[in-house]
Amino acid sequence: MVKKFFRGLKGSYIALILLFLYSPIAVMIAFSFNAGKSRAKWEGFSFKWYAELFNNSAIMEALKVTLIVAAIATVVSVILGTLGAIGIHASRKGYATTLLNLSYLPMTMPDIVTGVSLMMMFGFVAGFVKIERGMFTMILAHITFDTPYVLFSVMPKLKQMDPNTYEAALDLGCKPMKALWKVIIPEISPGIITGALLALTMSLDDFVISYFTTEKTQNLSILVYSAAKRGVKPDIYALSTIMFLTVLALLIIVNKRSTLEDIG
């Protein structure tokens, strides 16, 4: 009886926290389907704002930028990060530690400082080479903050692997590159895929660093920011709902994968 009471108490507390975390999101999703312009009064269900969203060329352009940046940044960071992890794993300790500490740096530095520091460097380089702060610089910045996440997803898989795996492949007749491609990469592929999904999520999600590394080109986050400064609008609700659901889907996949690994 007492036990049940305490369980109920704990349950209600967790429920309250969930309510706190989800009510704004729930309201946002609900009113993105509102027929009227109000964000407080329900005027009937409609896809009106979604339709408007897809007809808004600025939003569609920002969507395109977001997707291109995320795709390229993910591919490049997966290659850089995976090779980096393999290299660090095979290196002597001093060099490996230095590089790992360096990898923590962009993860611990405040986003705003990462953003402005890259902005200044791009500004400096622009004095010599014709380079505009836009999609290209945004991609460079995204690769920079994505890659450590790939690295740290792959590293544990390398550590878990039998230390003789690479040598076993050589022993059975693989040349070094083939051993890497046929044995090491498949062995660590769960880590690579998790890293890729993380990089994709981070990239789709980023606002602060993108904000400082581009000038005219907007991604969705920047677009939401400039729209928010002018007040809340239901079409941005619709956009946010789509973005939220996309990230949600990606995270469910990441989570499914890692729980599957825990079991296996």
Partner 1 sequence: MVEDTRLIELKGISKSFGTTQVLKNIDLYIRRKEFVTLLGPSGCGKTTMLRIIGGFETQDEGKLIFDGKDLSGVPPYKRRVNTVFQKYALFTHMNVYDNVAFGLKLKKPEELLSGVSNPTRKQVKEEINRRVTRMLKLVKMDAYAKRSVDSLSGGQQQRIAIARALVNEPEVLLLDEPLGALDLKLRREMQLELKTMQQQLGITFIYVTHDQEEALTMSDTIVVMNGGEIQQIGDGKSIYDEPKNAFVANFIGDSNILDAVMVQDYEVFAAGRSFECVDEGFAPNEPVDMVVRPEDIMIVGEDVGMLPGEVKSVLFKGVHYEMFVEAAGFNWKVHSTSMYPVGSRVGLSVVPSNIHIMHKMKEQTAPAAEESK
Partner 2 sequence: MKRSYFSAPYAVWMVVFTIFPIVFVGLYAITTRRADGNDLYTGLANIGNIFGNEGTYMKVLWRSLSLALQCTAICLLLGYPCAYFLASKDFAKHKTLYVLILLPMWMNFLLRTYASMGLLERNGVINSIVTALGFKRLELIGTQGAVLYGMVYNYLPFMILPIHTVLKKMDQRVIEAAQDLGANPVRVFYKVTLPLSIPGIISGITMVFMPSVTTFAISGLLGSGNFMLIGDVIETQFMSANNWNFGSALSLFMTVLILISIGLLNRMDKSKTGNGGGKW
Between 132 and 167, CB nearer to partner 1: 167
Asked if 159 interacts with partner 1 (CB under 8 A), we say no
- Euclidean distance between CA atoms 88 and 99, whole angstroms: 8
159, 89 contact by CB (below 8 A): yes
Residues facing 45 on adjacent strands: 34
Asked if 257 interacts with partner 1 (CB under 8 A), we say no
Q: With CB cut-offs between 5 and 8 Å by kind, which of partner 1, partner 2, none does residue 170 bind?
A: partner 1
- Euclidean distance between CA atoms 16 and 14, whole angstroms: 5
167, 243 contact by CB (below 8 A): no
Candidate list 43, 132, 167, 261; residue touching partner 1; CB under 8 A: 167
Asked if 162 interacts with partner 1 (CB under 8 A), we say yes
210, 145 contact by CB (below 8 A): no
Q: With CB cut-offs between 5 and 8 Å by kind, which of partner 2, partner 1, none does residue 167 bind?
A: partner 1
Candidate list 43, 171, 215, 261; residue touching partner 1; CB under 8 A: 171
- Euclidean distance between CA atoms 12 and 5, whole angstroms: 11
Residues facing 184 on adjacent strands: none
- Euclidean distance between CA atoms 25 and 34, whole angstroms: 15
Asked if 174 interacts with partner 1 (CB under 8 A), we say yes
138, 220 contact by CB (below 8 A): no
CB of 38 to partner 2, least distance (A): 7
Candidate list 21, 27, 186, 232; residue touching partner 1; CB under 8 A: 186
Q: With CB cut-offs between 5 and 8 Å by kind, which of partner 2, partner 1, none does residue 174 bind?
A: partner 1
Q: Which residues bind partner 1 (CB under 8 A)?
A: 162-165, 167-175, 178, 183, 186-187, 189, 264
